[in-house]
Amino acid sequence: MSRTKAIFLFFMLQITLVFAQSPPGYDLWLGYSEIEEPALLKEYQNTFKSIYFQNGNEMLHAAERELTTGIKKMLRKLPDFEKLRNSENTVVIAKKSNLESSLLKRLAFDFDQLGADGFVIKTVLFERKQVLIVTANEDIGILYGVFGLLNLMQQRESLKHIMLSDAPKVNIRMLNHWDNLDRTVERGYAGFSLWNWQKLPEYIDQRYIDYARANASIGINAVSLTNVNANALILTPAYLEKVQALAKVFRPYGIKIYLTARFSAPIEIGGLETADPLDLNVQNWWHGKVKEIYDYIPDFGGFLVKANSEGQPGPQNYGRSHVDGANMMAMALEPFGGNVIWRAFVYSEHDTSDRAKQAYTQFVPFDGKFRDNVLVQTKNGAIDFQPREPFHPMFGAMPKTPLMMEFQITQEYLGFSTHLVFLPKLFEEVLHSDTYSKGKGSTVAKVIAGSLNQKKLTGMAGVANIGTDLNWTGHPFAQANWYGFGRMAWDPYLDSETIANEWIKATYSQNPNFITAIKSMMLTSREAVVNYMNPLGLHHIFDTGHHYGPGPWVSELSRPEWNPVYYHKADEKGIGFNRTPSGSDATAQYAPELAKIFNDPKTCPEEYLLWFHHLPWDYKLKNGHTLWDGLALKYQQGVDQVKTMIVTWDDSKQYITPEQHNEVRMLLQIQLREAKWWRDACLLYFQTFSKQALPEGVNKPTKTLAYYKSLKFPFAPGIRPQWH
């Protein structure tokens, strides 16, 4: 080859490489960075000399494609796949039914424990050679096994003696998108909705495929596409054919589609005069609609329903109950194997009792009355995705009902996508909480995994934080919350530190110094946000509507429970919501062992103090500070923790690219500014009641309370813009 031609080809290759690269952050945790450790690279190269990959359907092809992508990137070589098994194979990837009996013998594994989704990855000595086997009962197990294998390599684990078997502990591992049909996203902070309804069904955006890959890599197997504040149009043929196209993309990745069903759909799109669940015409309409949906999407998952909540229609409009509504839909879905996921996020302006008690009051009497294909989806706490809430008492009180956990991955009350907050810390706290419903050790995780009450149908949902932003989630670290949610939905007993470790290695760097520092930053980030927003059990003191920033002074909204003053109840005497027997008695909804602990301020964990108690400003905290001083110091601590996060991030600059460093640095600066805003606005406001000076160590606010009260945010994301 001539020199000129060689130079030309070299440049073409560079150009191809440049263009083949995804935008920063787009690859999520599937970047498959090159193996730089020489010994490990050699080991992997030897391992992947010849791969037998069972031929098969589109799911196995998807798995094989992923393995190709991963190996090409990590080992800088194209893998050598064989479609016929031969004695040279160093890797065998096949279902159990496709493995020769001699290999099965070597594996010596009880496949019953794997179920459909589980997998085994094991290196065995076979005919005097090492063979790495990835196997499972079903295709989906192979897909998860391949992602498991790639994950091990991203964690730089040696495969020489690997023996790993894993299976999910929860059946439905689901993302709930709150995407509107106009592509705005309720409480979305990462751009617009991914679903391009105009171009579907013909145009399949590569993003749909990459979204499915990312979900499958962490075991997510269900998604509801649209907002729970639902639009009935999604159930019409014009949209169903688009949903069908998405279902086709997601199917090879083991993901089922659910749709949000607006309870009044029979009226809005069916031409009926009522949506009464006991009306025969209404029942027939839903039966027909369900059949129509299954004609489009044979593996349709079912409906997710928000009914009689925040203005949404529901069975109570007709004097019927949640059971009547849910069971009516369940009967329509039953013949096709579909489920109803009925949300328990209900509270009413006509109920004057403590909002925190209302869902329990409405739902617990229905325990055991729902049909078998109904799951009741319950938010992690009794109010609404606050930075910290005690676990929802329903988790300890409905043993005969499959309760599905609803976490919020999108950061509605946690600084949007501008604050670095590692949510698996919050998820873990809730899942590890003890309900005591069957004595000590009856954790929420056991309720959700179904082991406490022997449930066959189990689920965990996360409200998605995904949008059209190049990096999917707005903040690069918000990707860790999507990742962590998926990992905990797969295994609710996992700990947040393990997840942080995995995510950092797969996303940023293998450097141990970087990992240690960033892991500790992530693990303290959740406590930091609690401290600078809602310390000591304060909650729902956010500004109205958009929930951007503090609004503890808001008191004039039409519904009492929409006003922050309802929640903090600050006055000259003190602060906090008395939920003990002398107050709203919400503690009675917990097991007696817990109620006893919560009822006494001396035994109540201080992180829930003002959630359960109204206490005087000079009440003595465990550390000897008065409540006023302690509260102020907590706000300051939150700000200081953000400052430390900035130092940690800056010190880690050398391990990542300048772009990676800079984007998070800019976001951390916003976080710091907003943490100070929270501290100053809240303390100035609460000071009008405590009438005490700020303690030493707390920075003096530089602006007045009037200034903070005057702020307006027409640009706040997450709700439809309100410019007027």
Helix axes of 58-75 and 206-217: crossing angle, nearest 10 degrees: 80
Residue 184, amino acid: T
Could you identify the residue written with the tokens 């860790």? 480
Quote the least distance from Cβ 170 to ligand GCV, whole Å: 20
Of 546, 562, 564, nearest to 416 by C-alpha is 546
**Which residue, among 573, 422, 428, has the nearest Cα to 495 in the 3D structure?**
428
3-class state of residue 462 by DSSP = strand
Q: Which 668-687 positions form the footprint of ligand GCV (CB under 6 A)?
A: none
Pairing of strands 574-575, 374-379: unpaired
Interface with ligand GCV in residues 131-150 (CB under 6 A): none
Q: Does 229 bind ligand GCV (CB under 6 A)?
A: yes
Is residue 187 at the binding interface for ligand GCV, with CB under 6 A as the rule? Answer: yes
Known catalytic residues? Answer: 310, 384, 412
**Residue of 573, 561, 533 whose CA lies nearest to 348:** 561
Shortest CB 322 distance to ligand GCV, Å: 15
Q: Which is nearer to ligand GCV, 384 or 527 (CB)?
A: 384
Nearest residue (CB) to ligand GCV, 334 versus 384? 384
Interface pick for ligand GCV out of 384, 561, 629, 680 (rule CB under 6 A): 384
**Interface with ligand GCV (CB under 6 A), residue from 345, 407, 436, 598:** 345
Nearer to ligand GCV, 186 or 680 (CB): 186
One residue of 122, 213, 242, 306 binding ligand GCV per CB under 6 A: 306
| Shortest distance (Å) from residue 351 CB to ligand GCV | 16
Least spacing, CB of residue 260 vs ligand GCV, in Å:
10
Instruction: Tell me which amino acid residue 692 is.
Output: Q
Residue of 594, 621, 624 lying closest to 610 (CA atoms): 621
User: With binding defined as CB under 6 A, does residue 186 bind ligand GCV?
Assistant: yes
Contact 626, 617 (CB under 8 A): yes
Write down the least CB distance from residue 230 to ligand GCV, Å: 9
# residues contacting ligand GCV (CB under 6 A): 9
Q: For residue 228, state whether it binds ligand GCV (rule: CB under 6 A).
A: yes
* Closer residue to ligand GCV in complex, CB, 228/615: 228
Least Å from the CB of residue 563 to ligand GCV:
14
**Please, which residue, 67 or 463, has the CB nearer to ligand GCV?**
463
Rounded to a whole number of angstroms, the CA Rg of the chain reads 27
Could you please report the per-residue DSSP string of 104-151? Answer: HHHH---GGGGTTT-EEEEEEEETTEEEEEEE-SSHHHHHHHHHHHHH
Reduced to 3 states, what is the DSSP secondary structure of residue 500? Answer: helix
**Using alpha carbons only, what angle is made at residue 89 by residues 85 and 90, rounded to the nearest 5 degrees?**
145
What H or E segment, with its residue span, contains residue 646?
A: helix 627-651
Rounded to 5 degrees, what angle do the CA atoms 550, 405, 461 make?
85
Continuous segment of H or E residues that includes residue 276:
none
Query: Residue 552 Cβ, how far from ligand GCV at the closest point, in Å?
Result: 17
Confirm or reject binding of residue 389 to ligand GCV (CB under 6 A). no
Closer residue to ligand GCV (CB): 188 or 574:
188
Indicate the residue among 187 and 539 with the shorter CB distance to ligand GCV: 187
Residue among 119 and 548 whose Cβ is closer to ligand GCV: 548
| Least CB distance to ligand GCV at residue 198 (A) | 24
| Cβ-based nearer residue to ligand GCV, 227 or 321 | 227
What single letter denotes the amino acid at residue 16? T
Selected from 44, 48, 52, 178, the binder of ligand GCV by CB under 6 A is: 178
End-to-end C-alpha distance for the chain, whole angstroms: 68
By the rule CB under 6 A, 543 interacts with ligand GCV: no
Q: Name which of 309 and 401 has its Cβ closer to ligand GCV.
A: 309
Please provide residue 189's backbone torsions phi and psi, each rounded to the nearest 5 degrees: -125, 20
Task: Give CA 23 to chain center in angstroms.
Answer: 24
Q: Give the closest residue to 453 by CA, choosing from 465, 435, 468.
A: 435
Q: Is residue 106 left, alpha or beta, with left meaning phi > 0 and alpha meaning psi from -120 to 50?
A: alpha
Q: Angle formed by the axes of helices 139-154 and 58-75, to 10°? A: 10
* Binders of ligand GCV in range 603-642 (CB under 6 A): none
**Residue 546 touches ligand GCV, criterion: CB under 6 A:** no
Measured in degrees and rounded to the nearest 5, phi and psi for residue 615 equal -125, 150
| Residue 492 half-sphere exposure toward CB, CA atoms < 13 A | 30
Closer residue to ligand GCV (CB): 386 or 599: 386
DSSP strand pairing (51-53 vs 81-82)? parallel
Cβ 66 to ligand GCV shortest distance, Å:
33
The verdict on 348 binding ligand GCV (CB under 6 A) reads: no
285 touches ligand GCV (CB under 6 A): no
Minimal distance in Å, beta carbon 241 to ligand GCV?
Answer: 26
Closest by alpha carbon to 508, among 482, 533, 480? Answer: 480
Nearer to ligand GCV, 138 or 186 (CB): 186
Q: Tally Cβ neighbours within 10 Å of residue 635.
A: 27
Cis peptide before 201 (omega within 30 of 0): yes
Q: Residue 343: helix, strand or coil by DSSP?
A: strand
C-alpha 148/C-alpha 291 separation (Å) is 36
DSSP β-bridge partners for residue 437: 439
Q: What is the smallest separation between the CB atom of 229 and ligand GCV, expressed in angstroms?
A: 5
Contact 487, 621 (CB under 8 A): no
Residue listed under structure tokens 């910290």 = 388
Instruction: Point out which residues bind ligand GCV (CB under 6 A).
Output: 178, 186-187, 228-229, 306, 310, 345, 384
